[in-house]
Amino acid sequence: MRGYSMKVSGQLRSINTHLKREIEKLSGQKLDACYLCGKCSAGCPVAPYQDIAPHVVMRLAQLGHKSVLESKMIWNCVSCGTCVTRCPNNVDPAKVCEALSRISKREGLVNSKVALALREKFVDLIKNRGRVHELTLVIQLKMASGDWFSDLDVGIPMFLQGRLPISGHRIKDLKNFKKLFEGNKEGNK
């Protein structure tokens, strides 16, 4: 990535205002509106299991600090929207996470193979079938991670209860649905 880096010592060397602008543009969020109160981190259901908390993502994004692109948090945000509902400044950290994950993928800085595989396989499935097929997704994910046994205790009961059906559903007008993705190719977000 090109851009002017501040000549400061240690960690802060990777502060990058160009990255900051790009995040703002991609996410549509005004990063400087955030005053880092931490209310997003306080309410986030996944934050306790991540490497950095959402308000730290926001701070690193404000600095344009490259390390944020390697964070797990940006991939594991489930976009539940608790953060934006409670944010006193109407900032949407979930959108920032999404923008960061896209930049992270482009720059090849993804720190979580599974997260990336999940994102890609999920979108592929939607593209081809119009709807996600859980069993295919699980198998593809397992292939990507090479970890076959970790979720068996959850997977088997789900399979037995019919939560992971062998034949999935397709949607009706798949041809027209696929046009949605063509629009995306032209950069029409």
Binding part of the chain for another protein, among 10-18, 37-45, 95-103, 129-137 by CB under 8 A, reads 37-45
Please answer whether residues 43 and 78 qualify as being in contact, where contact means their C-beta atoms are separated by less than 8 angstroms.
no
What is the 8-class DSSP label of residue 127? H
Nearest C-alpha neighbor of 73 from the set 108, 48, 38, 91: 48
Q: Could you say whether residue 180 binds another protein (CB under 8 A)? A: no
Q: How far is the CB of 40 from another protein (least distance, A)?
A: 8
Report the distance separating Cα 132 and Cα 122, nearest Å: 7
Nearer to another protein, 40 or 164 (CB): 40
Distinct helix (H) and strand (E) counts, the chain: 10, 0
- Single out the segment in contact with another protein by CB under 8 A; choices: 33-41, 95-103, 135-143, 174-182: 33-41
Asked if residue 80 binds another protein (CB under 8 A), the reply is no
- Binding stretches for another protein (CB under 8 A): 33, 35-43, 47-48, 52-53, 55-56, 82, 86-90
